[in-house]
């Protein structure tokens, strides 16, 4: 029998948040995947659907140059151009591969500097684990700091969430953004 042994690894979030003084929404993942950590940027696994969803919802259909591109720099520029801030709930944790379900010993990132210096109106989390850890680790700290801001859980765009096709992810994200008065492209 070839039993697979779980290989826990302690990981540190080695790249910072993406935001500026015009960011109006903050999208939080849990912890970057090994491919994203290798590229030092968010949602860089080639099968992750995050960037295609963002392009479908925010790219100007009349401007062929308003696209996500393949590089971290082009994706950073796209996010900032559309008022999107990116970060993760976790600053460090023990994890097996890219499995959110395996996360343990999580230490949260401090969102206070972003939320006090950018006009963020709403926070979105990508996936159930990010939402769970946000509620447990970050929300109490924000309350202690006098910050009250809404959070909406979005479905994960990870290839592990194979039950949701790209079209369904776009619909779910569009509905969530619109419910919080974020302007996105029409269907």
Query: Residue 4: is its pLDDT beyond 70?
Result: no
Long-range CB pairs of 100-103 (<8 Å, 24+ gap) are 100/30, 100/31, 100/127, 100/128, 100/129, 100/130, 100/156, 100/158, 100/160, 101/129, 102/6, 102/8, 103/30, 103/31, 103/129, 103/133
The confidence score (pLDDT) of residue 148 equals 95
pLDDT band for position 131 (cuts 50, 70, 90): very high
Mean pLDDT calculated for residue range 36-52: 93
CA–CA dist 174, 90 (Å, integer)? 25
The confidence score (pLDDT) of residue 5 equals 54
pLDDT band for position 37 (cuts 50, 70, 90): confident
Query: Residue 1: is its pLDDT beyond 60?
Result: no
Q: Lowest mean pLDDT: which of 101-105, 130-134, 140-144, 175-179?
A: 101-105
Mean pLDDT calculated for residue range 87-116: 91
Query: Residue 6: is its pLDDT beyond 80?
Result: no
Structure tokens at 105: 């010993």
Q: Do the bridges between strand 122-126 and strand 151-154 make them parallel or antiparallel, or are there none, so unpaired?
A: parallel
Domain regions of the chain by residue span: 9-179
Q: Which CATH number fits domain 9-179: 3.20.20.140, 3.40.470.10, 3.40.630.30, 3.40.50.620?
A: 3.40.470.10
DSSP 141: H
Query: For the chain, what percent of residues have pLDDT higher than 90?
Result: 78
Mean pLDDT calculated for residue range 88-116: 90
Mean pLDDT calculated for residue range 93-99: 83
Query: Residue 77: is its pLDDT beyond 50?
Result: yes
Query: Residue 2: is its pLDDT beyond 50?
Result: no
Query: Residue 176: is its pLDDT beyond 50?
Result: yes
Query: Residue 7: is its pLDDT beyond 50?
Result: yes
């Amino acid at each position: 029998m070839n039993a697979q042994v779980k290989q826990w690894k302690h990981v540190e979030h080695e790249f910072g948040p993406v935001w500026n003084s015009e960011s109006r929404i903050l999208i939080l993942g849990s912890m970057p995947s090994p491919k994203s950590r290798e590229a030092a940027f968010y949602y860089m696994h080639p099968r992750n659907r995050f960037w295609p969803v963002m392009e479908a919802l925010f790219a100007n259909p009349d401007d062929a140059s308003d696209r996500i591109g393949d590089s971290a720099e082009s994706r950073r520029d796209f996010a900032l151009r559309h008022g999107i801030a990116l970060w993760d709930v976790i600053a460090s944790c023990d994890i097996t591969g890219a499995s959110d379900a395996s996360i343990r010993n999580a230490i949260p990132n401090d969102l206070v500097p972003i939320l006090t210096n950018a006009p963020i109106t709403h926070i979105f989390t990508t996936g159930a684990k990010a939402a769970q850890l946000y509620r447990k680790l970050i929300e109490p700290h924000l309350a202690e700091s006098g910050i009250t801001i809404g959070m909406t859980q979005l479905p994960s765009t990870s290839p592990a969430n194979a039950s949701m096709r790209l079209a369904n992810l776009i619909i779910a994200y569009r509905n969530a953004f619109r419910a919080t008065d974020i302007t996105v492209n029409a269907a």
